[in-house]
Amino acid sequence: MLFLRVLRRRQTCNQLSQQLDINMRSRLRRAFYWLMTLTGLHTIAMVAFEGLGWGDALWLTLTTMTTVGYGDFSAATPLGRTATVVLLYVAGITLLAQLASDYIDYRLKRKESMIKGRWRWKMQDHVLIINSPNNNAAVYFERLVAQLRTTEQLGDVPVQILTDAFPDGLPESLREMGVVHHHGEPADPQALEAVTPAQARAIIILARDEYSRVSDSITLDVLMQLQGSCGDAQPYTVAECVHEGNRRRTELAGASTTLRPIRAYPEMLVRSLVAPGAEKILENLFTHHDDHAMRYPVQLENAVWADVTCRLMAAGMGTLMAYVAEDGDIICHPAHDHRFSAKALILMVREEFVPSTEDIERCIRQDEAKT
C-alpha cells in the first residue's frame, strides 16, 4: 500500500508539472498572438492616419514598441498619436515586457524539467537504460556509458535512463557525457511511454537488486509492457535476470538475451549489444557452469600457438585461450604463428568433461612425438 501511495504521489506531481508546462506555453502563445494583433492594428492606423507606406508604418510600429525610437518617423496627427498611445504605449510595450518575462520563466522551467527528469525528450535511435542499481548507481552508469562511448558502433548514440534514483537530477559527470534521464518508476506505463522505447536502437533493463528475485518480477512487468507498446518492432533488448530459473520466462516475455547482474563489469552489457552472443562466453568466465576456464601447469618450449591449439581441440580437451609465460605474464590469444614458451596453459573446457593435467600433457607430448 505504501508503494502504491508513493507511486500515485509521483504520478500526481508529474501530471501537475506537465499541466504547468502546458499552461505556460498557452500563455506565451496568447501573448504572442495579441502582440501581433496590436502590431497589425497600429500599422494600419499609421497608414490610415499618417499616410505612411506599409513598410514605413511597420518600421515605425516596431521601433516604437521595442522603445528603440530612431526618430526618422513619428506620429504627427491627433488620431495617429492617440493610436500610438493606446495600442503601443499602454498595451503593446506592457505586453512585450510580459511576453519577455514569461519566455524567460518558460526557459528556466524547461531547463529545470530537463535536469530533474520531467522532460519528454522524444528521442530516436538511442540506447534506453531502464532502472538502476540500488547501490552506487552514479558510478555504475559512469562506467557503463564510458564503455558505450569507447565502442565504435555506439560511440555517438544518445543515452537515456529511466530511473527514480536521481530526483534532483543526474550527476554533472553524467550530463557532461551527454546522458539524459526521465524520472519515474520503471514499470510505470506513463514513464515508459515518455522514453519512446519503440524508437530506441537498443534497450537495457537492469535489476534493481542483484540479489532479490523481486527484481525479476519488475523486469517481467517492463518486458510485457514493452511488448504491448512495441509489438514485433521491439528493439534488441538485454535484460538482467537474478534467478537462473527466470531466464526462460524473461526471454519468452520479449528479452533478446539475458544476463546475470554483474555490477563490476558493465562491459558485458555493451558486448551483448555490439556482438550478440558474446555475453554468454563472458558470463561463463565468471561461473563454473557450462564452459569455464581452467589453468594447467604444463611446461612448453618454443611451441607454435596454432599447433598446440589444434592438437587440444582435435582431442576434445578444450579451447586454448592463453598461456602463462616464464616470467608470469598472461598472454591472451596471440597470432596463429606465435612461438612461445610457457609454464602453464589456460583452456576453456566443457562442463561435462574437464581434462586433467595428465590428459593435457599426454595429448601434447603424443602429437610432438608423432611430428
Place of cell 500526481: 12
Q: In which element (H, E) is residue 129 found?
A: strand 127-130
- pLDDT band of 6, cuts 50, 70, 90: very low
29-57 tens-digit pLDDT: 888 888 899 889 999 999 999 889 999 99
Burial environment of residue 364 by CB neighbours within 10 A (0 to 12, 13 to 18, 19 or more):
buried
Place of cell 537492469: 206
Tell me the β-bridge partners of 160. Answer: 128, 180
B/e letters for 332-360, b = 16+ CB within 10 Å, e = fewer, are: eeeeeeeebebebbbbbbeeeeebeeebb
- Percent of the chain scoring above 90 in pLDDT: 49
3-state helix, strand, coil in the chain (%, to 5): 55, 15, 30
* Tally of CA atoms within 13 A in the half-sphere of 206 that contains its CB: 26
> Cα separation of 21 and 222, whole Å?
28
> Cα separation of 11 and 13, whole Å?
5
Task: Find the mean pLDDT for residues 128-157.
Answer: 92
- Percent of the chain scoring above 70 in pLDDT: 91
Identify the pLDDT of residue 13: 47
Identify the pLDDT of residue 122: 87
Asked if pLDDT for residue 70 goes beyond 80, the answer is: no
Identify the pLDDT of residue 312: 93
Which DSSP string do the residues of 195-211 spell out, in sequence order? T-GGG-SEEEE--SSTT
Tell me the β-bridge partners of 339. Answer: 304
> Cα separation of 235 and 157, whole Å?
14
Asked if pLDDT for residue 367 goes beyond 60, the answer is: no
End-to-end CA distance of the chain: 75
Grid cell, residue 111, equals: 531547463
* Tally of CA atoms within 13 A in the half-sphere of 109 that contains its CB: 15
Give the number of other CB atoms < 10 A from CB of residue 325: 14
Range of weakest confidence among 133-147, 243-257, 275-289:
275-289
150-206 tens-digit pLDDT: 988 888 999 999 999 998 999 999 999 999 999 999 989 999 999 999 999 999 999
Asked if pLDDT for residue 17 goes beyond 60, the answer is: no
Identify the pLDDT of residue 289: 58
Of 33, 191, 50, nearest to 118 by C-alpha is 191
Give me the chain's average pLDDT, please: 86
Give the number of other CB atoms < 10 A from CB of residue 304: 14
- pLDDT band of 16, cuts 50, 70, 90: very low
